[in-house]
Amino acid sequence: MIWEDFLNSLWHDWRGSGASEDRLEHAAWRQQFWAKHGSDDALAPEPSPAELSELRRLRDELRRLTLAIVDARRESLPLAASALEPLQAALRAAPFHLELELEASERPLGEVGFRLERRPLASDWQAVRCRVAAAYADMLAAGRAERLRVCDNPDCKWIYYDETKNRSKRYCDDKACGNLLKVRRFRERARQQPKN
Per-residue pLDDT of 123-164, as tens digits, reads: 788 888 888 999 999 999 988 888 999 998 888 989 999 999
Question: What's the predicted TM-score (pTM) here?
Answer: 0.76
What pLDDT band is residue 109 in, cutting at 50, 70 and 90?
Answer: low
Query: In the predicted model, is pLDDT for residue 121 greater than 90?
Result: no
Query: Do residues 73 and 167 lie in contact, with contact meaning Cβ atoms separated by under 8 Å?
Result: no
Q: How far apart are CA 129 and CA 90, in angstroms?
A: 8
Please compute the mean of the pLDDT values over residues 105-128 and round it to a whole number: 71
Give me Rg for the CA atoms of the chain.
20
Please compute the mean of the pLDDT values over residues 27-43 and round it to a whole number: 82
Q: How far apart are CA 190 and CA 186, in angstroms?
A: 6
Please compute the mean of the pLDDT values over residues 26-31 and round it to a whole number: 92
Query: Do residues 62 and 3 lie in contact, with contact meaning Cβ atoms separated by under 8 Å?
Result: yes
